Structure 1
Amino acid sequence: MAREKRKLHTTILFVGEGPTEKTFIEYLRGIYSPGKAKVTVRSADGKGPKHIIAEAITMQRQDDYNHCCVFLDTDLEWPAESIKKARSKKIVLIGSEPCAEGFFLDVLKMKKPQDSQGCKEAFNLSILKKKNAMIERAILEKHFTFEVLEEMRLKVAILDKIIKCLEGRVKEVFEEG
């Protein structure tokens, strides 16, 4: 009796800077990844860009993923050595400007303060309705509908990069820079 060949899936590790990014990527994964690629989402638990990129490199190596993407803030400068190391491993670095909440405000077409703290306060008070709240799936479902995401991926390049990666188009995003 002939053995059936198993279909091998592309495996993607998506590392978020912290729990906010992880929750958002997991939400998008549910919309854009089913059947396209096996996407694992993890948090690097912050501690700055050098740590986050190093964590992603370690996680990718340990679990042998085909691709790795990292979603992190740009409010702290990314060390050139970390960027170089990530590029050598073909890891896609996606920066939220200046932070995840600023990126969310862009996607929701809301006025965005220039600094991270201002973005966090604006997003927390207008969307989460309280200070220092954690983003939850119900909030994402209410504000980041498929229709909003599809419209805004054409206008917000960072969102389009994230979605392309979740669709399994990591190589294309990496080559675009």
Structure 2
Amino acid sequence: MKQVLIIGASGGVGAALAAAYEGRGDAVTRLSRSVDGFDITDERSVDQHLTALNGPFDVVLVATGALEIDGAAPEKTIKSISQKAMLDQFALNAVGPALVLRHAGDLLRRDAPCVFSVFSARVGSIGDNRIGGWISYRSAKAAVNQIVHTAAIELARSHKSSICVALHPGTV
């Protein structure tokens, strides 16, 4: 039986993953804004919730993120950039997962293989952008890819059997 932590467990993908793990007999700890008041964009909320958990976990999944925030649709052109929309994208899709990753060393097992995964998006690929648009969302996802990459390097020093990865769940 694995110990699994799913952040964003009330969303469609997070809830489905939680149900799948539970269906396999794994113990799932769920955190979400709507059920637990876990706000991934608020440093105090992240620290308070994550330090209160009983770990370690075999799997930590950060299944949060949004393409539209507060009605701000993805930009079709760079001329449409809004400071607020861009900052909101970074807060939710990059800074939030970084705040959770700050706790990875305490959340994950040191004595066995473990996985820390953050949902990203293929559109965060710099090399795979051939049509432009969606500047704020793309940039935030590119940032979270770099955050996860850097965290993986650091985590490997203390958690030799860990995997730290950004995942593209597909269009949801």
TM-score, length of structure 2 as denominator length = 0.38
Give the TM-score taking structure 1 as reference length. 0.37
More helix by share: 1
